[in-house]
Amino acid sequence: MPISYLSAAQITALDVTVFQQLSSTKIGQLTQGQIGALSVTDVEALSTVQATGLTTTQVKGFTVSQIPHIPDAVVFDSNQLLALNGAQLSALNDTQFARIGDTQLSQLSVTAVAGMTTTRLSALNSDQVAALTTSQIRSLTNAQLTALTTTDIGELTATQLTSMTTTQIGWLTATQSSQLSTDQVGALTSSQIGALTTTSLAALTTDQISLLTSTQLTGLTTTQVSSLSATDFAELSVTQVLGLQTTDFAAISPTNLWSLDTNVIQGLTPTQFASVSTTQIAGMQTADFAKLSSSQVAELTPTQLGALSATNLTSLTDTQLNALTVSQVQGLSSAQLSELGPNDLGRFSNTQILWLKPTQIGSLAADAFSSLDATVISGLSTQQIAGMSAYQAHMLQTTDIAEFSLTQIAALGAGHLGALTPTALASLSTAQFSTLTSTQLSAVSATALDALSQTQMAALTTTQVSGLGTATIRSLTPDEFAEFSSTQVLAFTGAQVAALSTTNLTAMSTTEVSNLNTTQVAALTTTQVGALTGDQVGQMHLTQITALSNSQIGTLSQTGAAALRTDQLTVLGPTKIGAFSTTALSALSSTQIGALSTVQIQGFTASQLRSMDDGDLDRLTGTQLGALQPTQLAALTTTAFGDLSSTEIGALSPTQLAGATTAQLAALAAGDFSPVSATQVAGLTPTQIRSMPLSVLAAFSPTQITGLTPTQIPALSTAQIASLTTSQVQALTPQQLNALSSAQIGYLPS
């Protein structure tokens, strides 16, 4: 019976003695399954002769448990070894595995190699590793590859190394990478370089990094580039750096970028240099600027240049600074320019200074600006002049002012003129001064005006004068104000006139005051009007007088009021007459009062009339007194009313007399009422009749008694009835007697 008919169990149960007696022919008849069923004892008894009878198919039947027990004396041939899989190969003891030659090793299938354990693979000697084919290398797993010793890695040929996939390259440990020889590093492709982890890349020595070609460096990712050290960058050559992509530059830290050698920095392509970020530019140290060529400085974008600190900007050499273009200069920020000192600004060329935009001019420090050559200042455009700060204008010297063209002078703002020192303002030539507008002069101070020469003051046009600020006018000293001509003063606006101090106003000649227009007169403050001298008031034209408001009239002083001409008084309306203060009104003469019309008289207010005494009323004519309204008459004090003469009382109309208060009537003396007619008596109210003093009533003539109306008769008190004289009683008419009450009749004198 053929041995191949035995079951696996029967094979396993074979006695070792029986197994040893099997010929190589019998052994060759065993199936692959039967081979795997052999007991460990039988395997250990396998002879060299029996082993030669095993086919490649049978060899594949050995299990990983059996293989370690194959006697060391048994030597498999190449075909038998090549038939083993990775697990079987890994199960061979060291003696058996060592019999695999380099040639046989290179003939192993990639599957067999990939199936080897890390232990077996790490046990390969350098020659064996070097014998691995590129296909076998590419079949290595992460675990297998990282299990190779640094020595093994170091023995890989360039061909083997370049055959590795980028994934495998990424599996290399930092320790393995650090042991790559310079030849091996040089053999790596750009893709493989890009596959190294940042840890592995960082583990490369400076020497290894320095050997990378520009082509290899193109494979670096931005992450890898950012992981390189400053020392690594310092060793890179121009050729190597040219291999970096523009996107890589953004990943380089400022420290690393500027650690590149000067010749490397200057060897950057324009595209590479343009990709340098503002952060990298801002990170430059003073010494780094020496690495830039003049052409590179000229290639800096305005944005890049704007990232420089003022200190870094001044670190540029004169040659580098002078290489800056228009767009670069105009890209400098106000913050950068404001930090420049006189010496720093002086390193820029005159042409570059004239490139500055108006806002940039205004940002220059005052001392730096004032250090500019007069020729440069004279070359500034009108826009640049307008862009100056007030403080810069304040720092201008007379030599600078002298260089200003008329166009530049015209470009100065009011703030600039106001900031000029008195000396600088006074240094303006006649031609320059004549170009100043009223708007420009509005900010000039009184102190600055005082510094002007008489010639300059005289050259001020009326238009220019009208532009002076009210604050300036207000602060003029008498001497400063005296510098203005009459023509210039008359050019003052209403606001300027109102800003004059009372001292300066009263110093004006009567001619100047009389020549003020109605707008100027109307602009006078009440304080100013009150300060006008009598001569000034007396010389005012009628149109000026009519231009005065009620408030202004109300502040006229006694001196001013007393100086009014009668024709000036006659143009004032009733309300303006009523606006006079009581003190000013009391200063009017009889002639002035007499010039008032009856309509003007009716403008007297109650307070004015209340302030009048007998002397004041005596200045009123009978016609004027007769023009007073009853309410005006009632405003007179009892003393003033009582001081009216009998003639004045008699001249009052019935309506006026009826408006007198009982207190006023009680203040009359006995004879004051004598000129009053019967008609006037009839106009008195019953209340007035009842309040009539007995002495006044006793002085009534029979004619006046007949003027009493039936309505007034009942108002007489019994005391008044009893005081009537016989002639007065006899003068009573029947109608008056009928109006007496029985009580009153009882008091009639007999």
3-state secondary structure of 73: coil
CB 538 within 8 A of CB 509: no
DSSP secondary structure of 620-645: S-HHHHHHS-HHHHHTS-HHHHHTS-
- Burial (CB count within 10 angstroms: exposed 0-12, middle 13-18, buried 19+), residue 379: middle
Average pLDDT over residues 233-241: 79
Query: Helix count (H) and strand count (E) of the chain?
Result: 88, 0
Query: Rounded distance, CA 407 to CA 595, Å?
Result: 61
Q: Is residue 711 part of a domain?
A: yes
Most confident listed range (241-255, 364-378, 447-461): 364-378
pLDDT above 90: percentage of residues in the chain: 26
Give the torsion sign (CA, 676, 679, 683, 685).
Answer: positive
3-state secondary structure of 698: helix
DSSP secondary structure of 407-431: HHHHH--HHHHHHS-HHHHHT--HH
pLDDT digits (tens, 9 = 90+) for 201-228: 888 888 888 888 888 788 888 887 887 7
Q: Tell me what the pLDDT averaged over the chain comes to.
A: 86
Q: Is residue 505 part of a domain?
A: no
Q: What are phi and psi of 672, to 5 degrees?
A: -65, -25
More reliable by pLDDT, 221 or 349: 349
Give the torsion sign (CA, 542, 548, 553, 555).
Answer: negative
Q: Is residue 692 part of a domain?
A: yes
More reliable by pLDDT, 223 or 588: 588
Q: Of 528, 572, 570, which is closest to residue 547 (Cα–Cα)? A: 572
Domain total in the chain: 1
Q: Is residue 719 part of a domain?
A: yes
Q: How many CB atoms lie within 10 A of CB 431?
A: 11
> Which residues are CB-neighbours of 735 under 8 A, at least 6 positions away?
710
Q: Residue 738 pLDDT > 70, yes or no? A: yes
Average pLDDT over residues 566-571: 95
DSSP 8-state symbol, 484:
S
Domain that holds residue 739: 677-750
* CB hemisphere CA count around 557 (13 angstroms): 14
When pLDDT is cut at 50, 70 and 90, the band that residue 293 belongs to is: confident
Q: Is residue 637 part of a domain?
A: no
Query: In the prediction, which pLDDT does 666 show?
Result: 86
pLDDT digits (tens, 9 = 90+) for 70-84: 998 888 888 888 888
Query: In the prediction, which pLDDT does 548 show?
Result: 96
pLDDT digits (tens, 9 = 90+) for 612-661: 877 788 888 888 888 999 999 999 999 888 888 888 888 888 999 989 99
Query: Rounded distance, CA 467 to CA 436, Å?
Result: 10
pLDDT digits (tens, 9 = 90+) for 721-733: 999 999 999 999 9
Instruction: Find the largest Cα–Cα distance for the chain.
Output: 201
Tokens of 314: 């001044």
CB 447 within 8 A of CB 419: no
Average pLDDT over residues 357-365: 90
Average pLDDT over residues 340-345: 88
CB 632 within 8 A of CB 604: yes
pLDDT digits (tens, 9 = 90+) for 519-547: 999 999 999 999 999 999 999 999 999 99
Lowest mean pLDDT among 221-235, 323-337, 524-538, 592-606: 221-235
Tokens of 25: 């022919």
Q: Is residue 714 part of a domain?
A: yes
Q: Where are the beta strands (DSSP E) in 70-209?
A: none
Average pLDDT over residues 366-381: 85
- Rounded-to-10 torsion of CA 244, 247, 248, 251: 160
Q: What is the pTM of this model?
A: 0.56
Q: Is residue 170 part of a domain?
A: no
Q: Is residue 530 part of a domain?
A: no
CB 428 within 8 A of CB 409: yes
When pLDDT is cut at 50, 70 and 90, the band that residue 1 belongs to is: low
* Residue corresponding to tokens 């009389």: 514
Query: Rounded distance, CA 281 to CA 291, Å?
Result: 13
Q: Of 124, 201, 144, which is closest to residue 170 (Cα–Cα)? A: 201
Query: In the prediction, which pLDDT does 306 show?
Result: 78
**Whole-number Cα distances in Å, 719 to 265, 692, 708, 737, 744:** 130, 11, 17, 17, 9
> Which residues are CB-neighbours of 742 under 8 A, at least 6 positions away?
none
pLDDT above 70: percentage of residues in the chain: 100
DSSP 8-state symbol, 140:
-
The phi-psi region of residue 123 (left if phi > 0; otherwise alpha if psi is between -120 and 50; otherwise beta) is alpha
Query: Which string of b and e fits 232-265 if b means at least 16 CB within 10 Å?
Result: bbebbbeebbbbbbeebbebbbbebbbbbbeebb
Query: Rounded distance, CA 508 to CA 100, Å?
Result: 129
